Amino acid sequence: MSILVDKETRVVVQGTTGREGTFHTKQMLDYGTVVAAGVTPGKGGRIVEGVPVFNTINEAMEKEGINVSCIFVPPPFAADAIMEAASSGIAVIVCITEGIPTLDMVKVTAFLKDREAVLIGPNCPGIITPGETKVGIMPGPIHKTGHIGVISRSGTLTYEVVDQLTRAGLGQSTCIGIGGDPIGGTTFIDHLKRFKEDPQTAGVVLIGEIGGSAEEEAAEYVRNEFEKPVIAFIAGQTAPQGKRMGHAGAIISGGKGKAEDKIMALEKAGITVAHNLGRLGKTALEVFK
């Protein structure tokens, strides 16, 4: 099993005719993902990497039976793309776009409140179930089918951790990049709940970073509700206060969001925290043996 996406997933790429959309459409196809359609308003009728392009999500859904969206739409239009996908009944929406205005995401959050669509991102690498499908920009070859779930706020750190897990012989059930913006579609807890119910997932790696309180909230959930072993790593341990470090959400302000506070909360919840990223694979072997 897996969570959210599998070999039955049929993907529509919103913004497929753009440079990034075209490139990653090919990468997903090469991995084995069923990219059934693309959408770019005004460019319906084109073919990109063998994939038919439509003007609207509704048209693509009617013709190709899509159920997952991957968004490469430029920031000023990305919120509308998310809401179009959600209003059309798309089950899982993966928004790769970074730089979406915060007020736009406030509107998106309100729009999604009473809908069942799951939004991953924005500003994220996407989601992959190794050996079955990938929706996003993750490098496929480093992943291996297995029993460890990965949830991360950082794209590049996800790749580093996954590579270490694979080299240690620990395959992954599903890997999810939730994004590093202040307002995102899903949280650590949302996906921990899914991994809790997934019999294929034997343990989880959480990759957090400074800023916000998502890691502390996840720690509390693990303490009270999650019985599978968890490893965590927190990026930004040497970040100066008041400086934004890469992600819009990675900023320490008002005395909150510090790495040491997150680490303390995680360890109090019984979670093994890897203090040295370079040893995470070895730590995983000890915890998930």
pLDDT tens for each residue of 114-164? 899 999 999 999 999 999 999 999 999 999 999 999 999 988 899 999 999
Query: What are the backbone dihedrals phi and psi of residue 135, each rounded to the nearest 5 degrees, phi first?
Result: -125, 100
Kindly report whether the peptide bond that precedes residue 125 is cis, defined as omega within 30 degrees of 0.
no
For residue 30, give the 3-state DSSP assignment.
helix
Output the CATH code of domain 1-123. 3.40.50.720
11 forms bridges with which residues in the sheet?
35, 68
Query: How do 34-39 and 51-54 pair as beta strands?
Result: parallel
Assess contact for 178 and 120: CB atoms under 8 A. Answer: yes
Distance separating alpha carbons of residues 240 and 17, to the nearest angstrom: 40
pLDDT of amino acid 252: 47
Q: Which residues are catalytic?
A: 247
Q: In the chain, list all ranges with CATH 3.40.50.261.
A: 139-289
The superfamily in CATH containing domain 139-289 is: Succinyl-CoA synthetase domains (3.40.50.261)
This model's pTM is above 0.85: yes
Phi and psi based region of residue 32 (left: phi greater than 0; alpha: psi -120 to 50; beta: remaining)? left
Distance separating alpha carbons of residues 110 and 273, to the nearest angstrom: 34
Q: In the chain, list all ranges with CATH 3.40.50.720.
A: 1-123
Tens digits of per-residue pLDDT, 207-222? Answer: 998 888 899 999 999 9
Confidence of residue 250 (pLDDT cuts 50, 70, 90): very low
Choice among 64-68, 88-92, 236-240 with the minimum mean pLDDT: 236-240
In this predicted structure, the answer to whether residue 241 has a pLDDT above a threshold of 80 is: no
